[in-house]
Amino acid sequence: MIKHLFTIIWNQRKRNIWILTELMLISVCLWYVIDYMSVLSTIVRTPLGFDIADTYRVDIKERTPESDGYIDPETKETTTGADLLTIMERIRQYPSVEEVSMSIGSQPYASTGYPSQVYYSRLFYKDTVGVTMQRYKVTPSFFRVFRIERESGNGPALADALDVHSIILSANGAEELLPGESAPGKSLQIGKDGYFKEVKALCIPIRWTEYEKSRPCYYSLLSEDEIAGELGSGNLENMELCIRIRPDAAARFSEDFRRDMGAQLSVGNLYLMDVRSSSLIREAIVSPVESDIRMRLNLLVFLSINIFLGISGTFWFRTQHRWGEMGLRVALGSTRHGLRALLIGEGLVMLALAMLPAVVISFNLGIAELVNLNWADFTAVRFLTGIALTGLLMALMIISGILYPAWRAVRMKPAEALRYE
């Protein structure tokens, strides 16, 4: 049967070469569409690793020398960092606030659009090559504000585990740096010639946004001594003062907080600028990405419809123009079922031949990083899943283009079908 199908295809090679070329190119296009959509559907269902519900960012600014109420730093008895700690403590006493944290380049969504606020370090274990990871510098309460959990196992909460001598490592960072080993208790070197920190615990993988894959990261302590002693006017903008509030206080929290705390949060040269919900920060970061995705999806859906019409139409037209041949086969004793199987088998063999170069081209597109790698790495599973779905959909399109005209042909009387020969 297979040999007979190859013989038919070879005998009609001048006509089939164009169909094979069309199938190859369309298979590559369809694989790209399927890869994009399947990775998108996977990434939006993957947990973020944090919870921004009922969280807010409190923006603190510093008065300039031209502002009313400005205090000359030479006459101030406290540092900018100490004033910020005072503000932090006053916020903690506000009735609607459950928890307060301070961080640098760590707040979910906030640093995504500002590469200058994203920090990286290379971590080493013994003689390993090392892994570059994103560094989050936080006060221990940060884990309670954004409800970041341990990866697994028993042990202290992340907020209790983090101290000046230790770090919290993400589970995917541990897997990349210490494959097959237990990371907690290991001493890692921060930078090639840097200091050593003990891994106290593992946290679940963290993603910047819904449309970013999780990257290896670690958390180091931002201590009150460091804030009070080293924080100055130059790096105040990098400080992220975040809070979690009671769910029942969310309705009018921003307005009430500004009214109640505006005067209390005026400490030294610092004052309350604004309080913004994390959902608003998320919307500012994610909305442009989602608009771009919607535009791409519309184009890909349009392309998919044209692919379906093109493939189905090609085999519909091809089958119709072979009615004379089918009439002859029926006259020579072919059954209707056998004739349909022959036509479908021929189409599927042509698809298999076209898929061979299409697989090579698609694989090279992935290796050349011409697919979206921000959502997921280009792995064998990702590639083979896309190829399998591409082959399945192409087969269904080919069958749909063959079935109806073949059904009409096999129902014709042989004498009538022979008139088309």
In a domain? residue 157: yes
Do 89 and 265 contact (CB within 8 A), yes or no? no
Q: Is the pLDDT of residue 153 over 90?
A: no
Same domain, 218 and 160: yes
Asked if residue 62 is part of any domain, the answer here is no
Burial (CB count <10 Å: 0-12, 13-18, 19+), residue 258: middle
> Could you tell me if 267 and 86 are in contact, meaning their C-beta atoms sit under 8 angstroms apart?
yes
Residues 175 and 217 in one domain: yes
Full domain range(s) for residue 219: 71-268
Domains identified in the chain, total number: 2
Residue 95 lies in a domain: yes
pLDDT at 302 over 70: yes
**Burial class (CB within 10 angstroms; exposed 0-12, middle 13-18, buried 19+) of 78:** middle
Report the distance separating Cα 94 and Cα 360, nearest Å: 62
| pLDDT tens digits, 221-271 | 999 998 888 676 667 888 899 999 999 888 889 999 999 999 999 998 899
- State pLDDT tens for residues 114-152: 455 578 888 888 776 789 999 999 999 999 999 999 987
- Is the domain of 333 the same as that of 370? yes
Helix, strand or coil, per DSSP, at residue 235: helix
Instruction: Report the mean per-residue pLDDT for the chain.
Output: 86
Please give the Cα distance from 123 to 386 (Å, whole number): 35
Which are the contacts of 224, defined by CB distance < 8 A and separation ≥ 6? 85, 139
**Same domain flag for 19 and 118:** no
Residue in the block written with tokens 């449309």: 211
Asked whether residue 66 is domain-assigned, the answer is no
CB 239 within 8 Å of CB 222: no
pLDDT (tens digit, 9 = 90+) per residue, 348-391? 888 999 999 999 999 999 999 899 888 889 999 999 999 999 99
Q: pTM of the prediction?
A: 0.82
SS (H, E, C) 155-202: CCCHHHHCCCCEEEEEHHHHHHHCCCCCCCCCEEEECCCCCEEEEEEE
| Distance (Å, whole) CA 17 – CA 350 | 10
Q: Show which of 268, 297, 326 is a domain's final residue.
A: 268
Cβ atoms of 170 and 203 closer than 8 Å: yes
Q: Is 406 domain-assigned?
A: yes
